[in-house]
Amino acid sequence: MAKVFVIAEHRDGRLKKSTFELLGASAAAGNETHAILLGDGVAELAKELAHYGAQKVHLIQDAALKLYSSEAYTKAITPVLKSASPDIVLASHTPTGRDFMPRVAARLGVGLASDCTQLAFEGSKIKARRPVYAGKATVEVEFLGAGPQLATVRANALGAPKPDTSRTAEILNVTADLSGLKTKVIEVVKGASGRPDVTEASIVVSGGRSLKSADNFKMIEEMADVLGAAVGASRAAVDAGYRPHRDQVGQTGKVVSPALYIACGISGAIQHLAGMRTSKVIVAINTDAEAPIFQVADYGVVGDIFAVVPALTQELKKLKEH
C-alpha cells in the first residue's frame, strides 16, 4: 500500500474526468489516497473527489489561485508534499498538469515520469510505461534515488471509475504563502468551440487534406457534436489552413489515446500514426484502399468521405436518439 497524492484539476467549476481516473486507480489499488484541491471558492468540489476515492482532501484556497498559474500552483503544492512525504504524486498530463509538475519535481529534487500511458501500483512504488518518439516505442520508467515518485498520466489511460456517493473525505484546510510571485496571469480568453480538447476527449473525429477546405470540416464537426467528441486534423489539413494547429494530431501536434478515433480522409503518415495509434478503437474512412491508416484501423471503410461521413453522422444520431 502506498500513500498517494493526486493533484485535482478543474476548469469552469467542474473537476476533470482525468482527475477521477487517477483517484479511482489509486483507491482501487487500496492506497491511502489524498487529493490536493486548489482554487478560490472550490470547497464544494471536495465532495466529488471523495466519491471517486479521496480519503483526505488538502484544500488550498486563495485569491491568487482563482486562475491557474504554474508558479502559484507550484508554490502552494510543494510545502504540502514536503510535510506529508507521500510515496507517489500523480497529476494528469493535461496542459495544466504538464506545466506545473516539472517545477514541483525540481523543488522536491526528484524525477517526474511524464505522459504515462500505463501505470500500476506495486507496494509503495509505481510501475509506469510511457511512449517515446510519439508512440513509435514505449519505455518503462525507472526512478533513481530517494523521494516520492512523480508521474503525469495521459487522459483516458486508466479508464473511468464509478463514483460511490456514500464516500466522504476529511477536509484539511491549508494556507499557502503566495507572496512574491513573478508571473501575473492577466486573462484567459476562452475558445469558441465548446468542444472538448483533443487530448482529453474520449472520442476524436479527425479530418485530413481530402476534406479539401476549411468549410468542409463542418461535416467533421457535425459528427463530433453528435458524439460529444473533439475535432482533430492531420498535419496536411493544418498546413493547408483548414484547421488551427491546436487540433493537429501526430508527432508534431497532439498525441492522443481516446476510446474511439475516427480518421476521415487521412492517409496515415508515420507521424500521424504515431500520434493516435494507441487509441482503443480506430475507424478509418478513405477512398484509397492502400492507405497506411488501414493498417492500424479496427474498422475500415473504403469509400468517399463526402458520402460516408454524413451518412455515418445520421446513423450515429439515430443511435443516440434511442
Site for other proteins in 253-292 (CB under 8 A): 253, 255, 259-260, 270-271, 277-278, 280-284
Pick the stretch among 56-64, 161-169, 208-216, 247-255 that binds other proteins (CB under 8 A).
247-255
- Quote the DSSP letter at residue 152: E
Of residues 40 and 299, the one with the C-beta less far from other proteins: 299
Q: According to the binding rule CB under 8 A, does residue 66 interact with other proteins?
A: no
Alpha-carbon separation of residue 85 from 120, 134, 252, 307 (angstroms): 20, 33, 37, 58
Q: According to the binding rule CB under 8 A, does residue 184 interact with other proteins?
A: yes
Q: According to the binding rule CB under 8 A, does residue 8 interact with other proteins?
A: no
C-beta of 171: minimal distance to other proteins in Å? 28
Handedness of CA 265, 267, 268, 270 (dihedral sign): negative
Of residues 208 and 258, the one with the C-beta less far from other proteins: 258
Of residues 30 and 82, the one with the C-beta less far from other proteins: 82
Pick the stretch among 27-35, 41-49, 82-90, 183-191 that binds other proteins (CB under 8 A).
183-191
What's the start-to-end Cα distance of the chain, in Å? 44
Q: According to the binding rule CB under 8 A, does residue 65 interact with other proteins?
A: no
- What gap in Å lies between CA 264 and CA 40, rounded to an integer? 42
Q: According to the binding rule CB under 8 A, does residue 139 interact with other proteins?
A: yes
- Out of 47, 107, 167, 209, which residue is the one contacting other proteins (CB under 8 A)? 107
Q: Say if residues 74 and 82 touch (Cβ distance below 8 Å).
A: no
C-beta of 85: minimal distance to other proteins in Å? 17
Q: Say if residues 255 and 274 touch (Cβ distance below 8 Å).
A: yes
Q: Say if residues 110 and 122 touch (Cβ distance below 8 Å).
A: no
Alpha-carbon separation of residue 13 from 64, 67, 103, 226 (angstroms): 16, 11, 25, 24
Q: According to the binding rule CB under 8 A, does residue 186 interact with other proteins?
A: yes
Q: According to the binding rule CB under 8 A, does residue 307 interact with other proteins?
A: yes
C-beta of 63: minimal distance to other proteins in Å? 17
Cβ neighbours around 92 below 10 Å, total = 29
